[in-house]
Amino acid sequence: MLTWIKKQLPSSGLTAFITHQDCLLHNVGEGHPECPERLIAIRDQLMASQLYDELHEVEAPEVTDQQLARVHPPHYLESLEASTPASGTYRVDPDTAMMAHTLRAARRAAGGAVKAVDMVCEGLAPNAFCSIRPPGHHAESAKSMGFCFYNNVAIAAAHALSQHGLERVAIIDFDVHHGNGTEEIFQNDPRVMMVSIFQHPFYPYCGDVPLGPNMHNVPMKAGSGSSAFREAVEMAWLPNLEAFQPQMLFISAGFDAHREDEMGSMGLTESDYEWVTRQLMRVARTYCEGRIVSVLEGGYDLSALARSVAAHVRVLSAG
């Protein structure tokens, strides 16, 4: 049985840990890798590593229709509602299924990412990690795929631009799968830069040809490992981020490139996630007043996911 213990602290400059028990409700069957236990494993690891007490937990609100509409057109949102089954599951593609509570969970996930933006931009937290599901970076403006329905990080970035007066934001995606949805949504948008690494050729079998000059994608061969990943960050990500001088960083934080995760074959470890988070923290301190919102994407080996998130959050919370 899944258990959910909620604790809230005064913010006091603590990293915001944004989540909601409704995110556990999306469950399309035993054996599916994108399962509710992912969030439980993360919480348990943060507690076991004594990081949880250094975080300010905040409940994710539901996203509003207006916030969704900045990224997803009305006909798509209406089709999702219409496709929601009263019982059982409805498959939008061979890997992606909906059940009765899917959109309830998805609205909390997207709302959590928006809440993180508000907290960081309003000075209520120096940065934030959103422990939410279902993930979002494969969701295109009008297409669900890859376990994703609403594009959480895109909704958050659009909110920062629309509501907080920012002119330039950057999205960093280190999931083992290319964030095709995020790229499709923001292609050729001069306000948004995306930098990413991903295993290629691999699902969703794109990204090697960027869709616009604001997209800096680095395809990686299976088995590339730590040194190739770090070289891509240093040679491709950091120079582009420094030239762009973003005012806020968003991280599509997928941890399925871990060597213990059977979903991919990149061969990364917790130390790589800790290292890349430190590099992004330096960029954020230089150009963004420290503002970072990190949004959970993939990561399906529960132990590797939990340890990797802990390494990532440890750096965020250290400031």
Residue 3 lies in a domain: no
Query: pLDDT confidence of 269, banded at 50, 70, 90?
Result: very high
Give the pLDDT mean for 139-159: 98
Residue 92 lies in a domain: yes
Question: For residue range 286-306, what is the model confidence (pLDDT) as tens digits?
Answer: 999 999 999 999 999 999 999
Our answer to whether residue 216 is catalytic in this structure is no
Q: Among 266, 261, 187, 251, which residue's Cα sits nearest to residue 220?
A: 266
Residue 22 has pLDDT above 80, yes or no: yes
Question: For residue range 83-115, what is the model confidence (pLDDT) as tens digits?
Answer: 999 999 999 999 999 999 999 999 999 999 999
Number of folded domains that form the chain: 1
Give the pLDDT mean for 124-128: 97
What is the per-residue burial (b if ≥16 Cβ within 10 Å, else e) of 81-99?
A: eeeeeeeeeeebeeebbbb
Give the pLDDT mean for 230-246: 98
Residue 4 lies in a domain: no
Residue 8 lies in a domain: no
Structural domain harbouring 43:
15-26+35-318
Question: For residue range 178-201, what is the model confidence (pLDDT) as tens digits?
Answer: 999 999 999 999 999 999 999 999
Residue 319: the pLDDT is: 83
Residue 2 has pLDDT above 70, yes or no: no
Query: pLDDT confidence of 246, banded at 50, 70, 90?
Result: very high
Residue 7 lies in a domain: no
Quickly list DSSP for 149-176.
SS-HHHHHHHHHHHHS--S-EEEEE-SS
Give the CATH number of the domain where residue 268 resides: 3.40.800.20
Residue 1 lies in a domain: no
Mean of the per-residue pLDDT values of the chain: 96
Residue 19 lies in a domain: yes
Residue 9: the pLDDT is: 46
Which of 20, 72, 138, 178 is catalytic? The answer is: 138
Residue 226 lies in a domain: yes
The reply to whether omega before 201 is within 30° of 0 (cis) is yes
Helix orientation angle between 270-287 and 302-318, rounded to the nearest 10 degrees: 30
